[in-house]
Amino acid sequence: MTVTASDAAPAVAHFRFFELEVLRTRRLGHSFLRVTFGGESLSRFRSGGYDQSLSLFLPAGGAEHTVLPSTDEDTWFAAWRALPEAERPVMRSYTVREQRRTPEGVDEVDIDFVLHGDSSPASRWAGRAVAGRRVMLIGPAVAENKSVRFQPPATADAILLYADETALPAASAILERLPAGTPVKAWFEVPHEDDRLDLVAPADADITWIVRDPALGRERAGRLVDAIRAAELPSGQAPYAWIAGEAGTIRAVRRHLVQERSIDRRAVRFIGYWRLGASEEELLAEAYAGQAPSEDATATL
């Protein structure tokens, strides 16, 4: 889940509300569940691909469907925030894993959820999702929108990717869309052995799977950086890096790429999806207060 100030109150100029219905679910691995949504409003949904994000509203408490007090561009956020906590739909950011139109003319969107029991509202909802449940989201009405963060310059001649399980759906969507022959080095960190997914990669991708040792705790970043440090990178002269996941870990990875690998910091896009020791609600509260970490490529290491 990405939590930024812009996600806390997403602008609706290039975005609009959509009401979607669960069509089906599919388990992808130990930790991953794909939920496929449909709905008439999807005919106006315009995913920009890659790591396209959206704001998903999940039902509060034991409700079956999401009901928002307002979907008006000027009033929805204040109306949503004014709801009692027990009645307020849970807002979370997710990646559009895929958007498609079936041969039958049905528009569908896939969103992949990370399952970790009932420890978070999104995981609890996804684990119980059944066909017919309705949710609301704010998603793209135009394909060119600011919620696609993977933006390599035309001069990039190699791609570097790091993602933990929370960012793996976005990284997977990026891999699928890279042109054939593009040199890619990727490190994907997952909680369990059977979370290693079979990914479609037309690009020339070298993928290293790292199964997390839960005993490491805050030392996980050091182990990951050691693995990246030992790797040989593609031979391109102008690599572009997209790194996403736990905030402390991606800061360590970015520091390594810029300081030890001499990659231009402006060519490293980093996104904190979560932070060790902080709940999703705490991160959202920081975003509301404008305290979310900067994703500016020139930010201090």
CATH number, domain of 194, equals 3.40.50.80
Same structural domain, 13 and 96: yes
Examine residue 152 and state whether it is found in any structural domain, yes or no.
no
Examine residue 299 and state whether it is found in any structural domain, yes or no.
no
Give the per-residue pLDDT at 1.
45
Per-residue CA distances from 243 to 115, 122, 246, 252, 297 (Å): 21, 23, 10, 11, 12
| Residues 90-114: tens digit of each pLDDT | 999 999 999 999 999 889 999 999 9
Per-residue CA distances from 6 to 34, 154, 288, 290, 296 (Å): 26, 26, 9, 9, 13
Cut 0.85: pTM above it:
yes
Which residues, including other chains, have CB under 8 Å from residue 107's CB and lie 6 or more apart?
38, 39, 42, 43, 45, 99, 100, 101
| Residues 47-90: tens digit of each pLDDT | 999 999 999 999 987 899 999 999 998 899 999 999 999 999 99
Residue 61 is given by DSSP the state: T
In the numeric block, the tokens 């402390």 are attached to 248
User: Is-contact 203 175, C-beta < 8 A?
Assistant: yes
Examine residue 145 and state whether it is found in any structural domain, yes or no.
no
User: Is-contact 25 115, C-beta < 8 A?
Assistant: no
Q: What whole-number distance in Å separates Cα of residue 222 and Cα of residue 278? A: 20
Domain that holds residue 234: 158-288
What does the block give as tokens for 88?
């307020």
Same structural domain, 54 and 115: yes
Examine residue 153 and state whether it is found in any structural domain, yes or no.
no
In total, how many domains does the chain have? 2
Give the per-residue pLDDT at 290.
57
